[in-house]
Every structure is written in structure tokens, then in C-alpha cells.
């Protein structure tokens, strides 16, 4: 079974599944990681999210495989400006590579509502690096051959349009080609409210992450015997405050919505993971979805979802649930 490809930019073809690396070196040992990488490569996955903030050990692991291709890296986190490539250069050194295909700013260097926050608060501004200065730094990295393309993560429509505006007015500044917004899944479709319009008209593609809502849409947390002890929301309970606040299992609307989506999967004879992944890939603006796994059978389930086509009847049922429980995990 081969994962389909997507032409994200000229001479940049990526797999429609992007393997995230948060578990590597933390939940997965080196031998386990290498087995997962072999499985991913064999299935045609050539796109890897190696954000320094979440996948530091993965960078050197990839080099051991000798098959590095289409690396997505996120960097330039808050507090790392105005030096151009404080997180880029160490990543390249660990990879023993001369460039990264797609380099994304991990989150805005200014106050914006993120990670479950839904309201903008004007009084929460802080000193930030101007967007023009960020683009200048990225442009110099592109000119130096360290980066091929750039993108944004956890951005807002305002931020996307400002990056595009400055790039249009200065030929030295690179144009963004992707956004990796907070998440996109059956339980979070906030991308469609504003950001989608920007991306559609400006020819920018979404790399939707958390398509399984931290594993909730697999159904494991609501199984009769309970989720395994090594499931992330159990294993790291109390550690990921952002994740636990957005994906609180105690939230009634989240459980009700999830149970209805699980019911749709059962109705049409689909695995819940297949339904969730296929829904994200069905979006016309999604180039690839960023997911994470810890076990080979989990990776097999995600890969299998690439062959699932959602009928209009399935989409209609999904939209009915969304109308009842809109974005319980914003």
C-alpha cells in the first residue's frame, strides 16, 4: 500500500501523510523509532515534521536511515530573533544536510489566541519582532541555500495576509506556501472560518495536524476497558496542560461528538481512524496531515486510511454531527 503524493510547490512533492516526531526519543526507543521509519518509508511517506521543539532526537535518527527527504522543520520560536537561524543551523548539523525543504515559523512572535483560546484580548500584547524582520531573516536563509520554502504554524488570517503583503512588496522576501494551523479534525474545523478563504485565494495549502485529536477519535479513551496506560493523555497526565485543556475527556460535548463520529464509522463499516484521517484528506486545501504514532499497527491504520473515499452520505452525516457539536476541541 502506497501513500499518495501531493505537489506542494515546484519541485517539492510530499506524501499526503506527514509523520510527526513528538514520540521519538520520548515514548519510542531508538530501535522502535527505526522500525517505524522503515515502515513509513516502505509505504511511501517522505514527509517528516522534525520541529526542534518536539523532535530533537529524530533529526539524528533520520540520518542513520540514510533516506532523508522532504523534511519539514519548525523553528524561530519566540525569543530567538533577530538572529536568522538559531534553530535552523543546529538542525542541519544534526541531519548532516545542507538544506531543509520546508521551514515553518512554529508560532507567531506576537500575542494571538492559540491552543484552545477563542477570543482575542487586545491588552495582552508583548514586545515582538516585526514580520518584516522575520521575513528578512528567512529570506537570507533561502538565499544561502539553507531553506527551500517557508510556511507558518499556529497563525491567524491577519498574520497570513501580512506575511503575504510584505513578500509581495519586497522581492527579497520569500512567499509562504503552507500553514500548519492549530489542528484540523472532526473535532476541530476552525480552519474553515476565515483561514480557509485566505489559503484558497492565495494558493496556500494546509498541513493539518492532530487529525485524531490526540488519539480521541480512535475511540480508545471511551472503550469499555478504558484506554491503555501508555496512551498519551494517560501517560503524560498533568504534563501537557495545553493538550489536556483542549482535549479534556471530562468535557461532555467532546464525548458526545466523538461517540457520534464513532457511530458513523460503524454505520459505514469503517475503522474510526480511517474515518478521521480520510475526512482531513478530503478537504480540498489540505496537502498533507501531520500525525503521530508509537506502534507499527497504529501506523498501519493511518496508512490504510489513504485508500478510503468518503461518500456524500458519509459527509452529510459528519456535517450533521458538526452542526450539533461545532468544534468541541478548538
Domains in the chain, CATH or no CATH each = 5-213+280-308 (3.20.20.100)
CB atoms within 10 A of CB 148: 18
Which DSSP symbol is given to 106? S
The count of C-alpha atoms lying within 13 angstroms of the C-alpha of 290, restricted to the half-sphere facing its C-beta, is 26
Q: What residues have CB less than 8 Å from 148, skipping those under 6 apart?
A: 12, 99, 100, 101, 102, 142
pTM of the full structure: 0.88
pLDDT tens readout for residues 94-129: 667 788 899 888 888 888 877 767 777 888 887 788
Which residues of the chain fall short of a pLDDT of 70? 51-87, 94-95, 116, 226, 229-245
pLDDT recorded at residue 79:
41
Amino acid at each position: 500500500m502506497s501513500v499518495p503524493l501531493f505537489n506542494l510547490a515546484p519541485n517539492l512533492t510530499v506524501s499526503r501523510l506527514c509523520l510527526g516526531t513528538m514520540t521519538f526519543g520520548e515514548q519510542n526507543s531508538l530501535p522502535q523509532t527505526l522500525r517505524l521509519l522503515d515502515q513509513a518509508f516502505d509505504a511511501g511517506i517522505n514527509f517528516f515534521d522534525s520541529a526542534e521543539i518536539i523532535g530533537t532526537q529524530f533529526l539524528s535518527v533520520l540520518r542513520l536511515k540514510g533516506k532523508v527527504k522532504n523534511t519539514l522543520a519548525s523553528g524561530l520560536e519566540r525569543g530567538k530573533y533577530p538572529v536568522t537561524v538559531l534553530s535552523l543551523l543546529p538542525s542541519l548539523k544534526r541531519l548532516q544536510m545542507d538544506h531543509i525543504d520546508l521551514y515553518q515559523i512554529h508560532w507567531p512572535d506576537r500575542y494571538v489566541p492559540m491552543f484552545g483560546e477563542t477570543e482575542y484580548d487586545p491588552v495582552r500584547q508583548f514586545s515582538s519582532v516585526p514580520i518584516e524582520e522575520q521575513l528578512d531573516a528567512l529570506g537570507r536563509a533561502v538565499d544561502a541555500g539553507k531553506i527551500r520554502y517557508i510556511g507558518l504554524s499556529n497563525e491567524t488570517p491577519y498574520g497570513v495576509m501580512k506575511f503575504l503583503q510584505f513578500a509581495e512588496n519586497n522581492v527579497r522576501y520569500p512567499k509562504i506556501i503552507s500553514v500548519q494551523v492549530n489542528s484540523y479534525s472532526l473535532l476541530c474545523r476552525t480552519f474553515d472560518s476565515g483561514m480557509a478563504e485566505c489559503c484558497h485565494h492565495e494558493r496556500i495549502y494546509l498541513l493539518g495536524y492532530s487529525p485524531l485529536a490526540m488519539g480521541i477519535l480512535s475511540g480508545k479513551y471511551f472503550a469499555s476497558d478504558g484506554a491503555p496506560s501508555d496512551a498519551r493523555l494517560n501517560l503524560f497526565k498533568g504534563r501537557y496542560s495545553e493538550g489536556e485543556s483542549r482535549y479534556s475527556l471530562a468535557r461532555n460535548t467532546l464525548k458526545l461528538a466523538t461517540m457520534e463520529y464513532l457511530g458513523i464509522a460503524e454505520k459505514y463499516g469503517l475503522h474510526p481512524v480511517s474515518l478521521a484521517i480520510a475526512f482531513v484528506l478530503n478537504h480540498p486545501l489540505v496537502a498533507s496531515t501531520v500525525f503521530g504514532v508509537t506502534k507499527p499497527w497504529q501506523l498501519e491504520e493511518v496508512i490504510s486510511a489513504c485508500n478510503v473515499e468518503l461518500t456524500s452520505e458519509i459527509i452529510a452525516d459528519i456535517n450533521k454531527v458538526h452542526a450539533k457539536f461545532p468544534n468541541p476541541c478548538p
